[in-house]
Structure 1
Amino acid sequence: MVRFLADGHTGEAVHAEATLMEAFFRSLSMILVSEIGDETFIIAAILAMRNKKRVVFSGALSALAIMTVISAALGYVVPNLISKKTTHNAATILYTFFGLRLLYIGTRSKAGEMQEEIAEVNHKLDKTVDPPWLMRSPLLRKIKGTLNPVFLEAFILTFLAEWGDRSQIATITLATHKNPFGVTIGGILGHAMCTGGAVIGGQLLAMKISQKTVAFLGGAVFILFALHNIVFGADKE
């Protein structure tokens, strides 16, 4: 009896570790294919050219880490409101949609699109002013006066750009049916890698990135996620 209980606990521990690692690697790969060359990547790259790299990195990554925690938490809550089978099917549909959309974008991509996006972000940064809600709040104005303004700029711009972005929705979706801790850790590490690359030499890298290649790679990853969900149903995960 004791041996059976021990084996049972060991089996559960092994399964838990396996699901944690699967969620971690899924989240990491998803962020890497979603964020390279994305708007948050370009924002970090351009800000790092104008300011201290470590300050831009810490501000941007702080925003992305908070966003990842929020997204994973939302994904964790959803299955408690909707059945596991429904969330699983919804995740499969979203993965398929993201994958097909990225593949479509890849077929429509033309040379020079990344340069145009960099120029657009540059223009937005040049015109950046304090939002009205910041000017109206004494507390937020005080925080702005206390924190490093470059850190705050990187944080706010990154947070706003990431809100509602494909990677945020995909993180919520992944956390609905995978270990939320693994999703969070993998997502934060993926963001750290992308943001680190952006601040070190992001604009040069972005100019050399093929939008077509990134879109096809991202599309393939999301399609693989969808196929995995179809082959391994909700009851097998």
Structure 2
Amino acid sequence: MLTAILVSLAVVFVAELGDKSQLITMTYSLRHRWWVVLSGVGIAAMLVHGLSVAIGHFLGMTLPERPIAFAAAVAFLLFAVWTWREGADDDGDVRIAEPRFVVPAIVSSFVLAELGDKTMLATVALASDHHWAGVWIGATVGMVLADAVAIAAGRLLHRRLPAGLLHGLASFLFLEFGLWLLFDGGFGLRGVAVAVTAAVGAAALVVAILRFRTARAQPTASPQAVDGTSQAPSTSQHS
């Protein structure tokens, strides 16, 4: 069992590095407390890898990929709209949502994103050859550790970037995840998925540059104009 824990932990941790789950975790950490995000990730990891162990060790079956990809795509597109509306309603500060609303969203998005992912497939394969409980424990811990690294990166960005940019970045990432899952996993069109996500990314970059230039081009009001007073130049006469 100890061997199963260590092997599963190492495999899942390495598989999660650079995976979309880390990007999703970082996206959530831009908007919510780190312990809330990590709690949701932990619950989702237990569910996903528990299902993987059941499939690999007890059932020996596969999951329907396309229906799951469609459901995940719809979920991420809804998250993009939700995050964007939160940003539009805020008054300049990043709002910390209540855990009772955030944790279910994190769990559902992670479960949908991980079903059929390479991490889950690796867990299924490990569970067919190793102790099922050890694989479950090791895979869950490995995913939580990998996503904890993403949370740390998200908190670093949270301290360095303005609130408005964080809202836009989080919404953009959710939109990209949704479009990729829709065209790649749902329709099986990898080339279209690459083209669409690249086009959306390029459009977002252009909009960001234009908004940045517009903000810099706006003249700053002088202190006299802010106070509503003006001071005419004074002249002195010498007799």
TM-score by length of 2: 0.47
Larger RCO: 1 or 2 (CA < 8 Å, sep 6+): 1
**Higher share in helix:** 1
